[in-house]
Chains A and B, each alone.
Chain A
């Protein structure tokens, strides 16, 4: 079976400061890491590989430094990595990103199963997976909390819909996005890292390799979403202490939640 896992390199900390004047993320001195949610997708693929004969490719779009994230996936046990990198891909929103990935995938070849993480820790939209499936014209299922069964033609999964769990059997080719904690991700092997670090087997593709080479469809140009302003959320440390017997307190808590429109 041919499996493809989409990954992204994100800032190494969740406490990235935002410049209050320019609204730009202060990335200086901050290391990058693999998007933690993608690790669950990778682990899901690697578990399938342990059960069935499979070949896993990881795919990422990003600057050349994103090779580091792909090298990490190779150290976790994937077979091949591809990086889509081109200055013309920069500034892409969800739609342009999904389209770029879909073009990359068309170039690399056919896949039975594409697995994505639920979302990224920087973009947080959780939309790239489904949009990618749409561009590829294949069925998809999101928030997968368990892979129940897998055979030559299909995968049976549990889709977590918050108030209910739906069991779905999806025929290949298809795309799934997996939930956090579906499995504990394995750790990258330093043994492999030492072997691979000098010449990591990462294929690099640019716009020239795609079927659609029109730059208007990529990066900032291909993005209908325009970010007007980025600002950090307001920090509020205001506290209110309510004391009293349980009956009074429960009413009080309900009132507070109601006022905040949280219930």
Chain B
């Protein structure tokens, strides 16, 4: 395995025969950006970078790569955090951002059909202008939809609406040998054999290359209001979350944030947050068809929070207020990154009633290892983002502490019946933890699936397991 062919001038000549020069880069022409993803923990250059424009180009590339056993990595905007879009074995990198057309809005079937390079922010803007909602709402709005599907991205509205997988109706995929397959479609129900479409979702480019996606839409709720709820301590903030869920109110989002993280984002954005007087906050969003309906729902949740020790509930109702609160929330990752010299992340998901325990554990761990571990996340769906910051540690101490912190956190997540990744994926960085978590049998089944889809192991090799 992994005896891949190195790119030769002959290969380049062939690729040049159907890829225009402005879309084909090799050797020194490839920018350093393409050697890593957003977290930059693993670095490796592809030998050739191709900015593809259509499915035909991908088919031709894959036919050639298959025949010559050249590894191929697909990349969107490069906003991943686990090294999934890094070309570990060189070869060809297919970059999809020029395949960014929104192909069809089907009002009768409530679907939108897009190419993989459409950015999440472009997609949500387009559908909202047309009165629809594409519910998945990951923090990184400049990610491509292809990337979102490949990691089964989650985001802020998962509590009420679920994750990307729940909104993928159909996919067109180029397989490792260049064959094109249409999976799923505009149908609402589908009990027709194994759901191959759902295997592609979250496969991080290891099973096929997505060239088209049919996504499910919902009617756009007329009204949406958020509540920013301050608490005297982290514990009482997080402990309210399962009670909110239990009260059967349906917030679209329940986010948890600590003052330190908010202060980093203030520094990072150069903008003040509306309230930083409390150590911990919950941020809830409610949506609905009328103001009265939304008001009724959030007032009930607010009363519950106040009874459980919230200091107040602040109303985030206008565009300006939403910008000041959600703008900061959207910048948390970048802000923490800017606050330190290097960092690594843990994106575990635990059952929702265990979030408090996990966060408190990460606080203890921070004290025990004497290392900064800020966190924030989707408290309502149990998915936390925990960051281990290097600050001024030397290389050796950093590696040692990072390994220890990761080991302990993943073990804790396991103990709480959690999973290794909630939404960022496994990529390169989390493989060992996935193996520990799932066990040999599950990994063996995954390898079998991979072999069936990609017998030569040329699609994004070295990832997931």
Contacts and interface: CB of A to CB of B under 8 A. Distances in A.
A31 B317 CA distance: 11
A194 B304 CA distance: 13
B228 interface: yes
A39 B320 contact: yes
Interface in A25-39: 31, 33-34, 36, 39
Contacts of A193: 315
Interface in A184-218: 184-191, 193-194
A186 B275 CA distance: 6
A149 to B, nearest CB: 20
Contacts of B321: 187
Given A184-B274, A185-B274, A187-B274, A36 B318 contact: yes
Nearest to B227: A190
- Interface size class, chain A: 10 to 19
A31 B274 contact: no
A172 interface: no
A173 B324 CA distance: 33
B271 interface: yes
Given A31-B291, A33-B318, A36-B320, A187 B299 contact: no
- Classify the secondary structure of B's interface with A: mixed
Interface in A78-132: none
Given A190-B227, A194-B299, A184 B315 contact: no
Given A31-B291, A194-B299, A187 B316 contact: yes
A186 B325 CA distance: 11
A185 B306 CA distance: 23
B314 A187 contact: yes
Interface in B50-71: none
A187 B278 CA distance: 14
B313 interface: yes
A187 B325 CA distance: 10
A62 interface: no
A69 to B, nearest CB: 11
Nearest to A34: B318
B315 A187 contact: yes
A186 B306 contact: no
Contact of B313 (A12, A33, A39, A190): A190
Interface of A: 12-13, 31, 33-34, 36, 39, 75, 183-191, 193-194
Given A187-B228, A187-B275, A187-B316, 5 more contacts: A13-B319, A36-B318, A75-B315, A183-B272, A185-B274
